[in-house]
Structure 1
């Protein structure tokens, strides 16, 4: 059997490794447009800020490793078109410009996503940069050296991490977003208020609830960015307003959702059973609401790629879905979330309840302890846990991983209230914080 894998970042790398782990006799051809594989884009801010000293640590695989496993790796090669009926494709070598054909028995699409770039005059200027891949990270590092004023557009995870990194480098930073809060998809106001205060306390200007309307340019450089409310002088602009799936190779041929992401079954097959897909070009099944959503996270990509590899010979392991679990560190605040926020639950018209818990990570009789803010979101009708968020200076982010399991298994507040967690004063309290939140939810629902 011959398998062609198109794209080799998180999902593609995982797919290749697991395909070859199933059967070394499978012929695997890998086509990647870049000159590297498996770049951890979630580490861009750490790389830009100089926290990561060894750049090799941002890659968890390499073309050489994949070749040693048995793959035929074609770096800096772009697949131009695919004939899905004849199972052939046209490929261009980006170095030599040679165009040739290849064929496959099964195909893995891991074409990923690309940053959204709005059609605003001046946005193609040389000092307006994107933040997605390794080469872009290097360009950000190089151009930020001579920049004193930097505007970051987009207050999602990448944007807020870059804003902090630039501030720690001594830059004058403005963070712009059309939403009125940072990271609103992942956190409710009780949490973003504290995160935003951390930014303003460190001198970062938050231009929230503002939409970019245009740029002031001199030659091929932007000197100022204009929103619908203010104008900010700048030496460098970083665009981080979101991603859209790379759909060029399958648009109009394979089944997609309106946003262009591929629809796959529980074994990661597309509408063509010989074509599998994984990563940012694919929708995922979102367990909290039991529906399909587009959530481009590296964790989702690696899981999907692994499943492709395990199912390529025979469909055997089903995708369990995701909760969209994520975490971030903003200055000294450790924050994580999973599932639905209260805001999303409200917008969806769910009959929800919440518990907001102010507590400490350890008993107050201990010499040291830290304050914790934890929120639980649940369905008042079914009593199922829907989501949660946590924030503290002491790292308790892993509790959202625990809550992710709770949501995936459709557990209720009744279940969570009495889950068996250990107690030891050095680590936690007699009642685990998740137990306490669930017990309060039960009390709100009239169970005493």
Structure 2
């Protein structure tokens, strides 16, 4: 008799896990019956692509979908859309689901449960926060709601939060021809960078015509008959025809909490390195905490890269194979208009907070050889541990050709290189791509000299 696998959540982690479990089970001779439920209308899509869909770079929501429900069904997964899990009983081995299309509740039994419920946008707990015209950006349905709103004659957009999604949505609104204000409670935009690099982001955004208001907390949203009309902060009131929330997300683990499953300080599910929560229950993606190899601690980092890898590890183990998720080093990048931003590992602020003896250096260089046409400026900041010389983290802000250099630093973190070793690595060189000393190596060499 086949083991029934029930998956809650049909996006990156859940469907990666389900698909890999079936593939592995076939290879190991196991028999699995896989059911996946999701309250939305889409499976296996790129939430990271939503700002680019809104901006017009991506033609339609369909372009962001890797596999449709029909394609998953053809591969042997019983996918049930617009079906919301409402309760979990791990002792009895069932999940209560609400089939919204049919208007009925039922209990689905399971032998193995995969929780891949993702994350949910954080809404400011202030008056007016639920008004029409205030949009989170987490699902394709959210993106569609933003585009429908933008089909009206609008003039002013306010983006609350200057993190990754906030910056990307600010660019999308600028490209839509709206006057854009970004409001953030931090000292500078992008609090995942140190403030000295954040000032570069701030200046670049202002040069693009974006009004950036920092050290400002939202206290209310003013509303009228049609929805939101203004964002009220302790630094002033900003008129708005549309508001986008870039205030971050939290793990969507209310069901798991109610079921008594183990959660970490962030509210994310705590798994082992096979993605097992407890016997018979597995989890992956934006609803879990992940081991940070540099910090030596658990963190919540909601990224599709981790979700897909964790899903694959989970599915391999559930299907009878063997795999381990080795953790992360905190690598991410984005852009706002033509400014590229990237980071990995610890910032200088992180090192200070952790009480680490360290050095931090910042260098200015160019993306190509200085004499080569089209070269652009790039800033690299690097943090190293004293006295070991081990790289702790790096940040990059620059123009075209800058951000992906962070991958060199990420690999140096992964393999625990010292900055001296990083400075002497054999990186590719040709004038159209880099100076003879790549900017990453220049920063590493300066850090090694400082040590």
The Cα offsets for residues 201-232 of structure 1, whole Å up to 9 and x where unpaired, read as 12211111101111222236222221112011
Any idea what SS the aligned residue of 1:440 has? Answer: helix
The match for 1:133 among 98, 114, 139 is 139
- Measured after TM superposition, the shift of residue 156 of structure 1 is 0.9
Hey, what does 2:340 align to over in structure 1? Answer: 334
Tell me the equivalent position of 1:87: 93
Shift of 1:325: 1.0
- State yes or no: 1:178 paired with 2:185: yes
Q: Which residue of 1 aligns with 2:280?
A: 274
SS where residue 363 of structure 1 aligns?
coil
Gaps of 5+ in 2: none
**Any idea what SS the aligned residue of 2:256 has?**
coil
Q: Does the CA-based 8 Å contact 1:77-1:93 persist in structure 2?
A: yes
Structure 1 counterpart of 2:269: 262
Q: Give a deviation string over 1:274-310, Cα, whole Å, max 9, x none.
A: 2110011100011111111111112111111111111
Q: What is the match of residue 113 of structure 1?
A: 119
CA distance in 1, matches of 2:139, 2:52: 14
Which of residues 155, 170, 179 in structure 2 aligns to 1:163?
Answer: 170
2:94 corresponds to 1:78: no
CA distance in 2, matches of 1:336, 1:43: 17
Q: CA RMSD in A?
A: 1.7
Match of 1:411 in 2: 417
Alignment of 1:314-393 (within 5 A): 314=320, 316-393=322-399
Deviation per CA, 1:384-440, whole angstroms, max 9, x where unpaired?
111111222232322211211211222222321222223333322333333322222
Q: 2:250 aligns with which of 235, 244, 247?
A: 244
Partner SS, residue 388 of structure 1 = strand
Structure 1 364/200 Cα, relative in aligned 2: closer, same or farther at 3 Å?
closer
Alignment of 1:428-447 (within 5 A): 428-445=434-451
| Partners of 1:174 and 1:431 in 2: CA distance | 39
- In the TM superposition, what whole-angstrom CA distance separates every residue of 1:62-114 from its partner, at most 9, and x where no partner exists? 11121121111111111121110121122211111122221111111101111
Whether the aligned pair in 2 keeps the contact of 1:164 and 1:199 (CA below 8 Å) is no
Counterpart of 1:22 in structure 2 is: 24
Structure 1 position 45 matched with structure 2 position 47? no
Measured in 1, the distance between the counterparts of 2:73 and 2:140 equals 21
CA distance in 2, matches of 1:315, 1:351: 42
CA distance, structure 1, for counterparts of residue 168 and residue 35 of structure 2 = 36
TM-score (norm 2): 0.94
**SS, match of residue 249 in structure 1:** helix
Which residue is 1:294 aligned to? 300
Compute the displacement of 1:199 (Å).
1.6
Structure 1 273/363 Cα, relative in aligned 2: closer, same or farther at 3 Å?
A: same
Partner Cα separation in structure 1 for residue 375 and residue 231 of structure 2: 44
How far apart, CA to CA, are the structure 1 residues paired with 2:370 and 2:174?
35
Aligned to 2:236: 230
Taking structure 1 as reference, are residues 424 and 215 closer, same or farther at Cα in structure 2, changes over 3 Å only? Answer: closer
Which of the residues 118, 124, 130 maps onto 1:124? 130
C-alpha distance in 2, partners of 1:422/1:225?
49
Residue aligned with 1:356, SS: strand
